[in-house]
Amino acid sequence: MHFMFEGVELEIVFLGTAGSTPTPDRSLPSIAIRRRGELLLFDCGEGTQRQMIKAKLGFPSKFKIFITHLHGDHIFGIPGLLHTLSLLNREKPLEIYGPKGIKDYIEAIEETVGLNLNFTLKIFEVSEGLICDCGDYIINAVWVSHSIPTLAYALIEKPRPGKFYPNKAKALGIPRGPLWKKLQMGFEIKLKDGKIVKPEEVLGPSRPGLKVVYSGDTGPCEKLIKLAYKADLLIHECTFDDSQAEWAYEEGHSTPSSVAKIALKARVKRLILTHVSARYKNTNVLEEQAKKIFSNVVVAKDFMRIELKHADL
């Protein structure tokens, strides 16, 4: 299944969409986001590196991993992935972010299995708030409602410079070329006569970037609504259908109706359901229940790809 948006800047690839146990059709949780040559991996279920190979993602030098929580189905793929990267002679440092305990887990693997990595591993134990500032985008996180400490993450692009107006640049005597490019990037310039031209003199209002939110495992959660507010895409776990609501909430999971209400309150543009229990060979029931409340929703499948573009392009 492949969806095209109105302007491609991000590609989301669903590597694993099962919950707890794999099935013949679904691998364990892992979602990759490709952005301008960088790969961001959210959760790393068993066999993730094989899924990456099948999806033809490669293993780029610019690579970060974000772990939502320390349940096995979300982290058991880390040892295999690290081993594969080492065998491929990776040299660039690899950053891994996750809640407290992720460092002990990875160090235990290194001590017992002896991965002998030939690259630097940078492990960050993180909490709620700004996780990292990556130049033109940030990663934010909040604690959500699960049986152990669990984070939801938001990739938020910073506002982009406004639309460039060539006629205004020409009227100001700015020659076409590098100076135009500099203004388009939001930098002021100095002309030969000493005149300073500010970007706002030739640009329209700044334009919002894209926003993608991934929930990990969680029951209904107000913090997630705030994190996902006006997101272009919300990827949310949906382990059980509505008939299993009581059981779902006891286990810190969600149902289609509860997720759809979150999407509606958060005013997101699109909703993707993932982390599907093995009991659902046919996921139509999940999609149908969610659509009664929020229409723009689908259930993820392994290797489903979504491309996001800026709407103003």
Residues 183 and 111 grouped into a single domain: no
Closest CA to 57 of 309, 233, 305, 276: 305
Q: Is 197 left (phi over 0), alpha (psi -120 to 50) or beta?
A: beta
Percent of the chain with pLDDT over 70: 97
Residues 179 and 219 grouped into a single domain: no
Where does the pLDDT of residue 313 fall: very low under 50, low under 70, confident under 90, or very high at 90 and above? very low
Q: Is residue 101 part of a domain?
A: yes
Closest CA to 37 of 59, 16, 15, 54: 59
Residues 94 and 240 grouped into a single domain: yes
Q: How many domains does the chain have?
A: 2
Is residue 24 pLDDT above 80, yes or no?
Answer: yes
Residues 41 and 26 grouped into a single domain: yes
Q: Is residue 47 part of a domain?
A: yes
Average pLDDT value for residue range 263-271:
98
Average pLDDT value for residue range 93-118:
93
Contact indicator for 290, 259 with CB cutoff of 8 Å:
yes
Where does the pLDDT of residue 7 fall: very low under 50, low under 70, confident under 90, or very high at 90 and above? very low
Q: Name the E strands within 129-275.
A: 129-133, 137-143, 151-157, 189-190, 196-197, 211-214, 233-237, 271-274
Contact indicator for 209, 161 with CB cutoff of 8 Å:
no
Q: Is residue 79 part of a domain?
A: yes
| 98 vs 168: CA distance, rounded Å | 47
Which residue numbers are catalytic?
73
Residues 137 and 226 grouped into a single domain: yes
Residue 245 confidence (pLDDT) = 93
Q: Which two tokens stand for residue 8?
A: 């491609």
Average pLDDT value for residue range 215-241:
96
Average pLDDT value for residue range 104-118:
90
Q: What is the CATH number of the domain that holds 35?
A: 3.60.15.10
| 266 vs 252: CA distance, rounded Å | 20
3-state DSSP assignment of residue 142: strand
3-state DSSP assignment of residue 262: helix
What is the residue range of 74's domain? 2-160+207-308
Name the least confident of 22-36, 85-99, 159-173.
159-173
**pLDDT tens readout for residues 150-201:** 999 999 999 888 888 999 999 999 999 999 989 988 889 999 888 999 988 9
3-state DSSP assignment of residue 151: strand
Q: What is the mean pLDDT of the chain?
A: 93
Residues 251 and 297 grouped into a single domain: yes
Residues 282 and 196 grouped into a single domain: no
Residues 79 and 28 grouped into a single domain: yes
